[in-house]
Amino acid sequence: MIITTTPGCPGKKIVKTLGMVRGSTVRSKHLGKDILAFLRNLVGGEIPEYTKMLAEAREQALDRMMSDAARLGANAIVATRYGTSDITSGAAEILIYGTAVILADDDAHQIDTSAEDE
Taking only the tens place, the pLDDT of each residue in 85-94 is 988 777 889 9
Average pLDDT over residues 98-102: 98
Q: What is the dihedral of CA 78, 95, 22, 57, to 10 degrees?
A: 100
- Domain segments of the chain as ranges: 2-109
Task: List 78's β-bridge partners, or say none.
Answer: 99
Residue 102: predicted pLDDT? 98
- pTM tops 0.85: no
The answer, yes or no, to whether residue 61 has pLDDT greater than 90, is yes
User: For the chain, where are the E strands, in sequence order?
Assistant: 2-3, 12-28, 76-88, 91-105
- The CATH class that applies to domain 2-109 reads alpha beta
Binned at pLDDT 50, 70 and 90, residue 35 comes out as low
Are 103 and 15 within 8 A, CB to CB?
yes
